[in-house]
Chains A and B, each alone.
Chain A
Amino acid sequence: MRIIVKTSGGLANISRTSTVDTTTLAPEEAADLEAQVAAAGLRDLPGLLRAPISGADRLTYEVTLEDQERRHIVKADEGALSERLLELIHHVRTLARTKQG
């Protein structure tokens, strides 16, 4: 499984992309990530998650999930994401940074 998280917008308007491939992770790390993806219901989400237009400087996310032959892309306004998804996004970013470092 591969997850790509692209973050853009916000006050700084700087785009950042983080990629994690479970084949490069330790078995327990990979299992933990798989569990978080399942808990967040990422595979069942529609391709577009919009939040009501409100406020300013919000982030937007594009999360791509690749499973062997399947690819699922979710584009989402920050305000439309659940806490679990936000935590998953943070987890992916942390893993990607650790692997790079």
Chain B
Amino acid sequence: MSNFDPNRDHYCTCNRNPIHCIVPPWIEERLIYSRRERVRTAIRENLRSTQSFRARRIVTTLRNSRFLHHPSSGRLPEAFGAAAVGLERTIYNAAQGYRLPGSRVRREGEGPTGDAAVDEAYDALGATYKLYLDRFNRNSLDDSGLPLDATVHYGQDYNNAFWTGGSQDLMVFGDGDSELFNRFTIALDVIGHELTHGVTEFESGLDYSGQSGALNEHLSDVFGSLVKQYQLNQSAAEADWLIGAGLFTNAVQSGQPGVPAALRSMKAPGTGYDDPELGRDPQPAHMDDYVTTSDDNGGVHINSGIPNHAFYLAATRLGGSAWEKAGRIWYETMTDPSMRRLENFNSFARKIVQTTTAAFGPGSQETEIVRASWQEVGIFVRARSARQRCVRSQSWRRLRSPGL
């Protein structure tokens, strides 16, 4: 297949990484076990982009190998040569204690337990897995069938949900204090949010502080919201664009008449709640109101309102279901090898516009909508270089033809 693109001014010799078409197959097979993560990742991407039987066999092996995605663990492939791992959920119960993961209460394929938190977590892990697989051809958090583990009933009156990261890869949910917060499994988007932290960790590993941390939070809000919209089969126009609706008890007041209280609003950042006891949702919607703070890891849950609003604007203006165009643009960008741990709002917005340009063309309506959406939140994006366009164009085509 020629890599010449008549719309570009040069030949593309790569497809996501420079190893493509250069390395003989026997070397590729050896490099799967390289100690260097970047080499393993590059080889894996190569194999996924080819159609050969040999590639399918190797990718099946890769998908069964947590070792490849946990280089720090030093573990060998756990199920070398076995059938590809699909959705594999395990729910644990911490029984109001603080030890993780707790006791195992439901495994993949087992029926409902009657414990709402257990069953909500199980179903929401499934819904999140489904969105990523159906729409983005991604097999779990690491794209290699990583089992999904969650712990519920963590702590006493515990008002939080979090992602442990590291070697545990565990989603943890508290029951709330029943005064201000309900159980944290009640909101599907919150579970999608936590799982997306896992995706980010396996991809760019966006540093969890300042603007890169706010982008990490932003991506979790975007895909958390998409999980909910996909489950409800809502168009971008129909969605509520709230994060964590239902999480607050009825005692907490919303920041917007007629809209339920929520942690955040992507449609109207700063209006999630406005309550005498909790105060007001502090999220800005524009760079003019950017909050400089040392709290909250440098405002990661605060300034994420700015890219969140840009996504909302892009998704509603692109029309249809948000996962179709906006979601794919954001997914393709967040998984692009050019993403670094220390992206800022400007560099991320530029990559988003680059992805859109590569997929739809420089003067396309889509590109202008996405660029204008960033501009509306105070982030201005200039044109990008031709070579980057080429890489993204290849990458987008791969996404459009998912599967091996």
* A residues apposed to B, CB below 8 Å: 7-14, 16, 52-59, 78, 83, 86-87, 90, 93-94, 97
Contacts and interface: CB of A to CB of B under 8 A. Distances in A.
B118 interface: no
A11 B184 contact: yes
B161 interface: yes
Given A55-B165, A56-B208, 14 more contacts: A10-B162, A11-B193, A12-B247, A14-B159, A14-B278, A53-B208, A55-B162, A55-B163, A55-B197, A58-B162, A78-B162, A90-B156, A90-B157, A97-B179
Contact of B295 (A8, A54, A90): A8
Interface in B204-238: 208, 216-217, 220
A94 B156 CA distance: 10
A57 B155 contact: no
B146 to A, nearest CB: 15
15 contacts: A8-B296, A9-B301, A11-B190, A12-B244, A12-B247, A13-B302, A14-B278, A55-B197, A56-B162, A57-B160, A83-B99, A87-B156, A90-B156, A90-B157, A93-B157
Nearest to A81: B98
Contacts of B301: 9, 11-13
A10 B190 CA distance: 12
B164 interface: yes
Q: Secondary structure at chain A's binding surface: helix, strand, loop or mixed?
A: mixed
Contacts of B184: 11
A86 B98 contact: yes
Contacts of B120: none
Contacts of A90: 155-157
A84 to B, nearest CB: 9
Name the 9 nearest CB pairs between A and B, nearest first: A55-B165, A13-B301, A10-B160, A57-B162, A56-B197, A54-B166, A54-B165, A90-B156, A55-B164
B295 A12 contact: no
B157 A57 contact: no
Contacts of A78: 162
A57 B163 contact: yes
Contacts of A12: 159-160, 181, 244, 247, 263, 301
Contacts of A10: 159-160, 162
Contacts of A56: 162-163, 165, 194, 197, 208, 216-217, 220
Nearest to B243: A11
B97 interface: yes
Contact of A59 (B157, B160, B247, B263): B160
A14 B220 CA distance: 18
A16 B279 CA distance: 11
Contacts of B302: 13
A18 to B, nearest CB: 11
Nearest to A56: B197
B197 A57 contact: yes
B156 A11 contact: no
Contacts of B99: 83
Interface in B148-205: 155-157, 159-166, 179, 181, 184, 190, 193-194, 197
B388 interface: no
Contact of B263 (A8, A11, A55): A11
Contacts of A83: 97-99
A54 B165 CA distance: 5
